[in-house]
Structure 1
Amino acid sequence: MKSVKKRTRSGCRRRKVKCDEVKPACSGCRKSNIKCLWPNNEKQSLSHGEQFHIERLPQTKRFQFVMYRGDQDKEVPEQPEQPEEPEQVVDPAVVDSLEELVPFESVVSPSLDVPLDREYSNAVYSMAPSNALVAWGTSLSTDNESPLLFQAFLEGFLNSVSPQPCHPRLSPQANFVPLAMSNPTMMDIFNACGASFLSRTDPSMRVEAKRRYSLCLTNFANSLSKAQEGAEEWMAAAVILLCLRDKFSGTSPIVPASHLAKALEMIRQLRKKGKSSVISLKFLVESFLFNYTVMLLTGTQEVVQRLPSPFEVYDEWRTILDCTPFHTALPFMKYPVFGAARQVYEIAAKVSWLYSRLPLSALDKAVACDLLRQTYTTELPEISSSAKTELLPSELVHLQESIYLADIIRSCCILLLHKLLFPRLEKNDPSVQEIVGNIINRLYALTAESPIWIICAWPLLVCGMATSAVSHQHFIYSQCQRCASRFQMEFLDQIGKFLVSVWGTENEPGMGWDCLFNRDIISRVYL
């Protein structure tokens, strides 16, 4: 029998990679950033003596970092990419004070839309258990160098931003977690968020949380500097997570506002190029819109100037936000963050925006009157009899609390609009305290462990400023303190302290809800 021998002692020679012949530009040319040339006809070749010249394409400007130094911004220019040079690493000590990501310079048209049936062919899916999430978590936890931090992110941080009952495919777990399976930078961000979550109750974790934050920003900077084809889905998700991390840590509002502005431009890029599924795009849009909405009321002029008008941005994303990719027991279960309060949150954004335009013009007052009409005529959703038979009792309780939140937000909008249209209206007025009493009753109806409390910061602030009864003030302050501890949200503790200063004492009265007209005072609290 003839013995089998290896053809070479050192293994196979390196195989040459053939062109994939993808038009208009093959992958090799795109990767090398050179112009891809094609002959006019199939069998055309170079003439005798003619030489082939490689034409380099101009480098497109990518992302830059802007460092936040209090009242001045220092721009750090991007270094040109050298293919054969070792990887450039951003200094973590510098990145630690990162403010924002500067987006692509190309102008993106917001009018372009992604067909809702592009991927799902108008299919409507029924609700299904999210068992796959367990598999994702197990796999990622095994591969992750810090399983404790990943577990803190998955079971702590992510749960604290997932308040509404919705279809499993629309949940933050289903949209954030899989991105780390193909991108290690996302896992760095997961670990940073997990460390930040743990550091709120464990002071020994604060140094590690700061180190992880610097590490994830460094790796994120390096990934963005290598981006060849613009925004990717994981980039927009990463910026939103960084915004939430900064928000829950009680940082300066300029930083999350900058993150939100850049996340919006990334999402616009994804929509224009069709690089994201409808489900992922819907989730990213709603995550942006919620944080954008609650930020407008207390944001400084600098914060508001970084963000678009809600009258424009809600119209821009309405078709994506309100699309129904799955069948759910109740229509508002297609909103993983807004829940039953989808319509009133849009009104809240527009009312908050008007407060940044004081003094109001005649046109602004007409808009405010129309918003007041919309607020009074907006009907709250109800739980249908079919849903009561389809869902578990615990799920029905959660859904009813989502409806309570919608009623609370609607009442807060009425308070803000009354004060906006009638600036001399005192909070002791019976009509004001009647609305405040209705809000307090709805807050009492929420169970102590309800995740709805996580997104109650905005109504707690609005209702708190209009409250005059001592018992109501004690209730709101105690809820701010309890939720800050229970859900580990430092900004709720700041809201409680701010309300105490607004209420004042018997000997030294506070400003009350007149502080709504003083941007310097109300901007001291961050939502």
Structure 2
Amino acid sequence: MIESHVCMSGIGVLESIPQINGRYLSPYTLEGRRRKIKCNEEKPICFGCTKSNLQCRWRSDGNDGTSQSLHANEANVVKQDVVYYIDNGHASFKSEGAPMGNVALETTLLEPVLDPVLEISREDYISGSIQQFTLQDSVPLPAHPIPSTGPLVSLEGFEPPVGNPATESCDPVSSENIQLIGSSAVTLGTTPLSGPSGWMGVSEMPEHSVLMDSFFGGFLPSVSPQFCDPRLSPSAVFVPQFVADPLLKEVFYACGAAYLSNTVPGMRELAQEKYEQCLMQFSHRVDQSVGDAQDWMVAVALLLCLRDKFIGTTPEISAIHLAKTLRLIRELRKSTEGVSVNLKVFVESFLFNYSVMIITGGESVSKFLPSPFEIFDEVRSILDYHPYQCPVPWMENPVFGAATKTVEIAAKSSWLLSQYPLNDADMALACNLLSETYKIRYPPMAPDAEIRLGSQSYFMLQESVTVSEIVRHSCQLLLMRLIIPNLESSHISIKQKVALIYDMMKGLSEDSPLWVILGWSMMITGLNSIQPDHRSFLIHSLYRCASKFHAAFLVQIADFLEKVWIANNDSQDFGWSVIFDKKLLSNICI
């Protein structure tokens, strides 16, 4: 039986896509799931069935003694899929057996406004093959009210944490900058973490065992959002550096303390103390080895960047750490031949943290760091390095996942925002970036990817595509605003795009670690949100993820958005226009 599904492209072109009945059924579901049955034969081992949790029946072929598997379809699986049709980057979706709804996935209403500025042919929108992905519906988010107690952390007015903004040193982690870096003062209430102690090389002090447990059991998982090849995971890259230099142990302690910074009495003070000790030692070690960077040095610099997300910091402090990281990466590339797995992970981690902080970094970014137009071209060969043959291509992107291109566009869009008002050259760049968002394509998955990886892993990889689509549409919101500064959030095209982003967010699992990398998109979408239910969902999601992953920067975003929304109710000229207020944006660091 052949079913025909309708896909709406970016300009309203309907495409009829033939599909074989049952094509999107997979052996996993949230409801009606049957208990999996393992193969009852002694040999050979059925790799496909065990990985995908299917019942397997064996029969001998009678010739060479080998066996062949007959995979039993779970025909009684009951589930509802969300089917993504990605046509040149346009992610249309619908529930199987359900109407499309009233939300237009892409609107043509903005085209008359953008046509004088953009010279994008219709062929650019609709040419190319159609790729198909299936996403399982997550459990709908319950309608929890926003906590009446307000944010876990209150930013007084819009004043940033106390610090010394006048940093003149050329070396971002020199001793003159230690006082500035140690001044971030935003904390987050967290939950206790328990776990086994006794890590090799850790002292017998209970304090150190707790901190090491916190690092391995809490900190590392929270900074490992993507499902990737295990050899490319942050754990596989950062943990081996533990034996490279004794300073790594102290950094692990500092990160573990940051993760638990407001859980145990006195932990906040301990976290700050260990942080400052690490900064001083690291600055001294780096000064002694100028031009001779090693992997463990880059690991330390990145861990200090990531540590700030748990404590909370200012854009200037983040820029200082990232500048040090970039310097070390450049030195490491000069001293080594080719591209290593470690270098790929280091570069992706740096690029992501750099990309999302540009929008609020303002002068701090231009003071310490080059533009993303320069940086991404500089490391393009590393981003394109694929050391392993994975069934899903973005399994080799340990930080970006499927969102490598969309995060790059987000970084460049944020940089253009920092240059506002745009000159003619920057306006042309903005138009080109907007055009690129409509041409993004995702490489196809291997036909047997779900069998080889298993249903849960396969689902996580599909969620990575959803995250990329959320970032892509958020980029379009920002670029439209840059190209047409007086475009209001009440414009029908903006409202429909915002509604689409929220629908995609609701399709993500509530406990997905991918929420951690959506801070940039949630801020952009939040500034465009005018419906109460959208705002309520976003604030609920920010606080939920901040609590689950101990990410203080998400609390900063939530508090910032609530203040903007309150001000917007008093003045219709506020709200989305705050995106152009560099002073206000500098109070948060994503």
Paired residue for 1:517, among 573, 576, 580? 580
Shift of 1:405: 0.2
CA contact (8 A) 2:567 2:575 kept: no
> What TM-score results when the alignment is normalised by the length of structure 2?
0.66
Q: Tell me by how many angstroms 1:95 deviates.
A: 4.6
Superposition pairs of residues 143-154 of structure 1, within 5 angstroms:
143-145=201-203, 146-154=208-216
Question: Displacement, 1:277?
Answer: 5.6
Q: Is the 8 A contact 1:99 1:254 kept in 2?
A: no
Deviation at 1:379, TM superposition (A): 2.1
Partner of 2:537: 475
- Identify which of 244, 249, 252 aligns with 1:187: 249
Aligned pair in 2 of structure 1 residues 477, 401: CA closer, same or farther (>3 Å)?
same
Write the mapping of 1:345-384 to structure 2, written as runs, cut at 5 A.
Answer: 345-381=407-443, 383-384=445-446
The answer to whether the 8 Å contact 1:233/1:276 transfers is no
Unaligned runs of 5+ in 1: 1-67, 78-89, 101-136
The 5 Å alignment of 1:319-358 reads 319-358=381-420
Query: In the alignment, residue 448 of structure 2 is paired with which amino acid?
Result: S
Corresponding position of 1:407? 469
Bigger Rg over Cα: 1
Q: CA deviation at 1:457?
A: 0.7
Unaligned runs of 5+ in 2: 1-161, 184-194
Distance (Å, rounded) in 2 between the aligned partners of 1:323 and 1:344: 18
1:72 is paired with a residue whose SS is coil
Change (3 A) 1:94 1:332: closer
Over residues 350-386 of structure 1, what are the superposed CA-to-partner deviations in whole Å (9 max), with x where a residue is unaligned? 1111101111111111111111111011124554432
Q: Distance in 2 between matches of 1:462 and 1:286?
A: 22
**Contact 2:391–2:445 under 8 Å retained in 1:** no
Pairing of 1:93-492 with structure 2 (within 5 A): 95=178, 97-98=180-181, 141-145=199-203, 146-227=208-289, 230-274=292-336, 278-381=340-443, 383-492=445-554
SS of aligned partner of 2:167: strand
Native 8 Å contact 1:339 1:402 kept in 2: yes
Tell whether the 8 Å contact from 1:99 to 1:258 is kept in structure 2 after alignment.
no
Query: CA separation in 1, counterparts of 2:180 and 2:580?
Result: 31
Q: Distance in 2 between matches of 1:409 and 1:460?
A: 9
Counterpart among 73, 88, 102 of residue 167 in structure 2? 73
Q: Kindly tell me: are residues 96 and 195 of structure 1, through their superposed partners in 2, closer, same or farther at Cα, counting changes over 3 Å?
A: farther
Q: What is the CA distance between 1:298 and its match in structure 2?
A: 1.4
CA distance in 2, matches of 1:443, 1:452: 11
Aligned mates of 2:290, 2:418 — CA distance in 1: 38
| 1:228-261 Cα deviation digits (max 9, x unpaired) | 7622221111111111112321122211111101
- In structure 2, the CA distance between the partners of 1:470 and 1:278, relative to structure 1 (3 Å rule), is same
Return the alpha-carbon distance in structure 2 between the equivalents of residues 220 and 486 of structure 1: 30
Residues in 2 aligned to 1:212 and 1:276: alpha-carbon distance in whole angstroms: 35
Distance 1:412 1:142 in 2: 45
Give the AA of the match of 1:180.
Answer: F
Residues 310-364 of structure 1: CA distance to partner in whole angstroms, max 9, x if unpaired? 1111111011111111111111111000000111111111111110111111111
Q: What one-letter code is carried by the residue in structure 2 that aligns with 1:242?
A: L
Secondary structure of the structure 2 residue equivalent to 1:416 = helix
Q: 1:365 to 1:277 in 2, by over 3 A?
A: closer
- Greater shift after overlay, 398-407 or 240-249? 240-249
Q: 1:490 to 1:433 in 2, by over 3 A?
A: same
How has the CA–CA distance of structure 1 residues 300 and 220 changed in structure 2, closer, same or farther, with 3 Å as cutoff? Answer: same
**Structure 1 residue 202 displacement after superposition:** 2.7
Say whether the 8 Å CA contact 1:344–1:409 is kept in structure 2.
yes
Percent identity between matched residues is 41
Work out the CA distance in 2 between the residues paired with 1:505 and 1:75: 38
TM-score, normalising length from structure 1? 0.73
Alignment partners' CA distance in 2, 1:481 and 1:509: 26
CA distance in 2, matches of 1:506, 1:422: 20
| Structure 1, 302-311 or 505-514: larger mean CA deviation | 505-514
Residue identity opposite 1:330 in structure 2: V
In structure 2, the residue matched to 1:526 is 589
- Offset of residue 72 of structure 1: 2.9
Alpha carbons 1:270, 1:276 under 8 Å: kept: no
Give the RMSD, CA atoms, in angstroms. Answer: 2.6
Task: Determine the C-alpha separation between the residues in 1 that align with 2:371 and 2:170.
Answer: 29
| Native 8 Å contact 2:314 2:586 kept in 1 | no
Residue range with higher mean Cα deviation, 272-281 or 328-337: 272-281
Contact between 2:352 and 2:400, CA under 8 Å: does it hold in 1? yes
Following superposition, the deviation at residue 406 of structure 1 comes to: 0.6
What amino acid sits opposite 1:475 in the alignment? F
**Matched letter for residue 371 of structure 2:** S
Does the 8 Å CA contact 2:403/2:464 hold for their aligned counterparts? yes
Structure number with the bigger relative contact order (C-alpha 8 A, sep ≥ 6) is 2
1:486: Cα distance to partner? 1.1
Q: Name the one with the larger strand percent.
A: 2
Q: In 2, Cα distance between the equivalents of 1:455 and 1:513?
A: 22
Distance 2:453 2:251 in 1: 35
Q: 1:506 to 1:196 in 2, by over 3 A?
A: closer
Contact 1:381 1:403 in 2 (8 A): no
